[in-house]
Amino acid sequence: MKLETGSVGASPEIMGAGEVKSAFDSFRSTFEAFRQANDDRLEEIQRKLSADTLLEEKVDRLNQSLDQQKAALDRLSVTASRPRLAPEAAAAGRPSEHRGAFLDYVRKGDTHALARIEARSLTVGSDPDGGFLVPSETEAMVDRVLSTVSPIRSIATVRQIGGSSFRKPISVGGLESGWVGETGARTETSAASLSLLDFPAMELYAMPAASQSLLDDALVDVEGWIASEVTIEFAEQEGRAFVSGDGVARPRGFLAYDTVAEASHAWGKLGYVATGASGAFAASDPADVLFDLVYAPRQAYRANGRWVMNRKTQASVRKLKDGNENYLWQPGLAAGEPATLLGYPVTEAEDMPDIGAGAFAIAYGDFARGYLVVDRVGLRVLRDPFSAKPYVLFYTTRRVGGGVQDFNAIKLLKFATS
78 against 338, higher pLDDT: 338
Average pLDDT over residues 322-346: 87
Q: What's the pLDDT score for residue 114?
A: 83
- Above 80 in pLDDT, residue 223? yes
Does 7 score more than 70 pLDDT?
A: no
Q: Is residue 19 very low, low, confident or very high in pLDDT (cuts 50, 70, 90)?
A: low
Q: Could you give the angle at which helices 97-108 and 112-120 cross, rounded to 10 degrees?
A: 140
Query: Residue 17: what pLDDT?
Result: 59
Cβ–Cβ under 8 Å, residues 415 and 356? yes
Task: Report the pLDDT averaged over residues 240-260.
Answer: 96
User: Mean of the pLDDT values across residues 54-78?
Assistant: 78
Q: Which residue has the higher pLDDT, 225 or 75?
A: 225
Mean pLDDT across the stretch 163-183? Answer: 76
Higher pLDDT: 364 or 39? It is: 364
pLDDT digits (tens, 9 = 90+) for 355-411: 999 999 999 999 999 999 999 988 999 999 999 989 999 999 999 999 999 999 999
Could you tell me the pLDDT band of residue 10, with boundaries at 50, 70 and 90? very low
Contact 364, 308 (CB under 8 A): yes
CB of 368 closer than 8 Å to CB of 158: no
pLDDT cut 70: percent of the chain above it: 83
- CA-to-CA distance for 24 and 74, rounded, in angstroms? 11
Which of 95-104, 167-176, 202-211 bottoms out in mean pLDDT, i.e. has the lowest?
A: 167-176
Compute the average pLDDT of residues 207-225: 87
pLDDT computed for residue 80 by the predictor: 55
Range 14-30 burial, b when 16+ CB lie within 10 A, else e: eeeeeebeeebeebbeb
Rounded to whole angstroms, how far apart are CA atoms 218 and 346?
Answer: 43
CATH no. for 97-173+194-252+379-404: 3.30.2400
Q: Specify the pLDDT at position 160.
A: 92
Lowest mean pLDDT, pick from 64-68, 240-244, 247-251: 64-68
| Residue 391 pLDDT | 94
Residue 232 confidence class, pLDDT cut points 50, 70, 90? confident
Could you read off the pLDDT of 296-310 as tens digits, one per residue? Answer: 999 999 999 999 999
State the average pLDDT over residues 50-67.
Answer: 82
- Identify the band that residue 147 occupies on the pLDDT scale cut at 50, 70 and 90: confident
pLDDT of amino acid 30: 87
Cross-strand partners of 403: 372
- pLDDT surpassing 70 at residue 176: no
Query: What are the extents of the domains in the chain?
Result: 24-77, 97-173+194-252+379-404, 254-371+407-414
- Given a cut of 50, whether residue 95 has pLDDT beyond it is yes
Supply the pLDDT for residue 20: 65
The per-residue pLDDT for 184 is 72
Cα separations in angstroms, 172 against 158, 193, 406:
22, 5, 9
**254-371+407-414 CATH fold:** hypothetical protein PF0899 fold (3.30.2320)
State the Cα–Cα distance between residues 287 and 272, nearest whole angstrom.
Answer: 16
Q: Residue 91: which pLDDT band, with cuts at 50, 70 and 90?
A: very low
